[in-house]
Chains A and B, each alone.
Chain A
């Protein structure tokens, strides 16, 4: 993982919490929760401060979480009582464990060259027919934003073929080409894809 990106998240973990923290799950998180059997085990991959994990826990899911930023992991553990560890995507070594993986705008911080292998590891960590939610920004290339975070952008077709190569069956794709206002103030298009292992 890019050290400058991790440094940004370590430095801004507290204020990031205020920016992203919802009390109630949004429609994507609700769909994810509703797609997992009750009491199922899920992984919040790139959990940030852990507020999504907390909402999954309140919904009765058994949540494990990981993030590259130690500060984020600390907040997730201390504030939300989430079972979070500091780990990189490539360290994911679980096999056949999860009913669902929530990777919401996290995998875009890894280089493109690692994406297929990250997706294969996620696939391996999921049970058969396990459910993946992935959110990414739409675009081309890899670049650093004005806050210092390194991003890899994907086109929907590219993500689709990567997921298929990693063994997934695509369930739904949602494209928002006019995007949402990001933390840098830029309006960036994004996509939400769900798939089955």
Chain B
């Protein structure tokens, strides 16, 4: 079985404003890349965090069968949210520690549902720091946003 990696990124012009998301999927055997897949998309009125979340959701929803996958995001919001904060939110009935409603609840629920079908390891890397795959995901996200820019 090849190892699967998904580099995800979101982009938003204005916050809120038109936005896009991008996913670069890579299947590797050892250090050899055997397949890559590019996914992208966008919407007219969104936020950067929503697009980061959507990118992760789309990466996992694109998997045809339950898989072991490493998901690499430059959004600490996504990584910390899904690996730490979400447990508290669920316990508090989707309220933050400050008793405010959790933003993007629907997207978090969809992401959680998608993670339950797979064995996901989460990694964070710094964005715009010259990581080749992250730059590609960023470009895909910008392409996804393009049709929605006025």
Contact = CB atoms under 8 A, between A and B. Distances in A.
Interface of A: 27, 156-157, 160, 169-178, 192
Contacts of A157: 147
B40 interface: yes
Contacts of B143: 175
A156 B146 CA distance: 11
A192 B36 CA distance: 20
Nearest to A177: B38
B147 A173 contact: yes
A192 B62 CA distance: 13
A177 B147 CA distance: 16
B39 A171 contact: no
Contact of B147 (A156, A169, A176, A192): A156
A174 B41 contact: yes
Interface residues of B, number: 17
Given A27-B61, A156-B147, A170-B147, A178 B37 contact: yes
A83 B6 CA distance: 41
Contact of B144 (A171, A173, A178, A192): A173
A26 to B, nearest CB: 8
Interface in B102-129: 114
A175 B61 CA distance: 14
B38 A173 contact: no
B44 interface: yes
Given A171-B44, A174-B41, 6 more contacts: A171-B43, A173-B42, A175-B143, A176-B39, A177-B39, A178-B36
B86 interface: no
Contacts of B42: 172-173
The 10 closest A-B pairs by CB, nearest first: A174-B41, A27-B61, A178-B37, A172-B43, A175-B40, A177-B38, A160-B147, A173-B41, A176-B39, A173-B42
Contacts of A174: 39-41, 58
Contacts of B89: none
A170 B44 contact: yes
B148 interface: yes
Contacts of A160: 147
B37 to A, nearest CB: 4
A175 B148 contact: no
